[in-house]
Chains A and B, each alone.
Chain A
């Protein structure tokens, strides 16, 4: 492959003229020399044919004019060196005049035919070059996933192939500034891109760019842009489908979680009306109604938190808060013996600016999660200062989280394995914790070794203002 044009480029010219002259001289000299040994086996007059390959060669490469020149030179050399009287341009024998005339005629015909063949070959080459150019432009433009980057490669390939110093293709109408801007339009005549080339190009190259390159590029860029639009649509559709899948999973999960307490309450209510009810049963059933009602209320609160977070309406109202107080409040909100949730807050932990209620909810969810999975083994909660952050680490001795699940546990409605004690959460607590921590400028992550436990890490920024007052 010799570049985009597959041939000699836009020049398509013959080899230089001076080379042609030297070649012609050499070829005529060679033929003249070759005739000497042949004179032993054939009459000199018949040997003029030896010049024909030389004439043919020159015409084929340098065209008719040099071909005819080579013919005349051959005739002269033949006359001078081989037609008696040798060493002079005079011809005594009339037959030799005829032979020389015939030779010139044949040579002229050969030259013409060669020139014809040559120009046909050149034309074919040019057409092939155009087809190659279009094909490579198409390949470059349509292969890449991204049309913008593909335009860069295409322009580079084109400038190499056309031997022009630089070329660029920009989407949309672009001001050429110091460069020549050739507009690329779609079928509706709307400018979709601009081909930028140097202003110092030869006129025929520019003509060629306008005549052949621009139309091909216009069609291809239009296709590439249409393809981009279709791909974007496909991506969007896929996104919608995924979000639909998520909503279906969500609905299923919520419907089960809501239905279970509702079923318990409804059945207990009916059972309370039973004729054969004992006092013990009445107490049990009424306790069940209260408990399941509480469970329902908690779930509804979580769903509301989540929907506020997802709709971006969970605006935090930052104030100066003490991490220790937030952690204590979070622990108090849980039905957990204090010994099972051990708090340790470093003395160097400064107050942070955050929404107290949101952080308390976030930590409450994290502590509950750790405690539920620990099955009675103590959970340690350590807060300390690290650089510009307050780092709170919640370490449990639960079953741990398998690595593939670690990335997903913060997704809403994702539920990990059931805890040893059979507890299974709503799949919302960690998503809400993450949402509230992030709403307050913090980050949350998990580190877990299956079989040994998990460690949830919350990092909250210490504000610059705070640094200033502390210093």
Chain B
């Protein structure tokens, strides 16, 4: 979509630099090779404090943060990075760390990858979040794979045909599409679209997402709105 980050990670401004935080040096080393091969430059850090230092000095374009670190909690690293930076953050988590995953997303992480992960999946997620961060912020029309959202006119077209959405459905789609590639927790969606008093009403959210999908998704399965069971939704066209 965006010319800033082509598939191999090398942008017009050079290779995107990715902060990689993991306390296992052997994982760090392997990730450095994998990222380099995909066109990124890795900035390794083996502790939370070091990660914050590297981020402040080198200003990476994105960060990959392991949730289990010897000093600071990975969630805390996300929170501290978010205090001054909008860079996309992907957290590495393990099964059984569901709580930490949701807390990391609430603290500002954009997405997560479960260990042990395939590098292809990690690279795809990284490219998706980088694409979002390079979207021009003021765009009035969002286009994605045959879907067109006119934010000013509150109009939605799929393959050129008008789709009628209720105001709530439109708001939901807008929040998801404006955060393309980012995993948004159910709680955050409910709070943004419905308001602070509705953060526990996941049934309501599920019903509206189902309606929205019926109207915009193709018959053969969701193409735009992907579910992350128990965590939230992401717009990933």
Contact = CB atoms under 8 A, between A and B. Distances in A.
B70 A268 contact: no
A284 B29 contact: yes
Interface of A: 251-252, 255-256, 259-260, 262-268, 270-271, 274-277, 281, 284-285, 288, 291-292, 418, 422
Given A274-B36, A275-B37, A276-B37, A288 B30 contact: yes
Interface of B: 24, 26-27, 29-31, 33-34, 36-37, 68, 70, 94-97, 115-119
Nearest to A270: B119
B30 A285 contact: yes
Contact of B33 (A260, A262, A274, A418): A274
A267 B36 contact: no
A422 B29 CA distance: 19
Contacts of A277: 33, 37
Nearest to B68: A256
Contacts of A281: 29, 33
A256 B74 CA distance: 15
B115 A259 contact: yes
B29 A252 contact: no
A112 B97 CA distance: 88
A206 B83 CA distance: 86
6 contacts: A262-B115, A266-B118, A270-B34, A270-B119, A271-B34, A285-B30
A285 B33 contact: yes
Contacts of B97: 252, 256
B33 A271 contact: yes
Contacts of B94: 255-256, 259
A285 B70 contact: no
A422 B23 CA distance: 10
Contacts of A256: 68, 94, 96-97
Nearest to B38: A274
B46 to A, nearest CB: 10
A221 B119 CA distance: 68
Given A260-B27, A285-B30, 19 more contacts: A252-B96, A259-B94, A259-B95, A263-B117, A264-B24, A264-B27, A265-B116, A266-B118, A267-B27, A267-B31, A267-B34, A267-B119, A271-B33, A271-B37, A275-B37, A276-B36, A277-B37, A281-B33, A285-B29
Contact of B96 (A255, A262, A265, A271): A255
Contact of A266 (B33, B68, B70, B116): B116
A268 B36 contact: no
Given A264-B24, A275-B37, A284-B29, A270 B70 contact: no
Nearest to A281: B33
The 10 lowest CB-CB distance pairs between A and B, nearest first, are A288-B26, A274-B37, A267-B30, A271-B33, A263-B116, A271-B30, A252-B96, A268-B30, A270-B119, A263-B115
Residue among B27, B118, B119 with most chain A CB within 10 A = B27
Residue among B29, B33, B95, B117 with most chain A CB within 10 A = B33
B124 to A, nearest CB: 14
